[in-house]
Amino acid sequence: MWTTTDSGTGTLMFYAGGTDAAGNPVDGTRTTVGLGGWNSIVLIS
């Protein structure tokens, strides 16, 4: 899941997600993709 912060900075993050022992979705590792926000992104693949 792609998200931005709610602080208005436009920081782009990617949540990998995961599953628990029963196979239900859970929050995964968060990776900060870029501090410049959406305007600095050239390509998402």
C-alpha–C-alpha distance, residues 45 and 38, integer Å: 14
Whole-prediction pTM:
0.40
In this prediction, residue 24 carries a pLDDT of 78
Indicate the helix (H) or strand (E) that contains 32: strand 30-34
Q: Report yes or no: 7 and 37 within 8 Å, Cβ to Cβ.
A: no
In this prediction, residue 19 carries a pLDDT of 80
8-31: string of b/e by CB count within 10 Å (b at 16+)?
A: eeeebebeeeeeeeeeeeeeeeee
In this prediction, residue 34 carries a pLDDT of 65
Average pLDDT for runs of 10 along the chain of length 45: 70 77 78 66 69
In this prediction, residue 45 carries a pLDDT of 67
In this prediction, residue 18 carries a pLDDT of 77
Question: Which residue is listed with tokens 């990776």?
Answer: 31
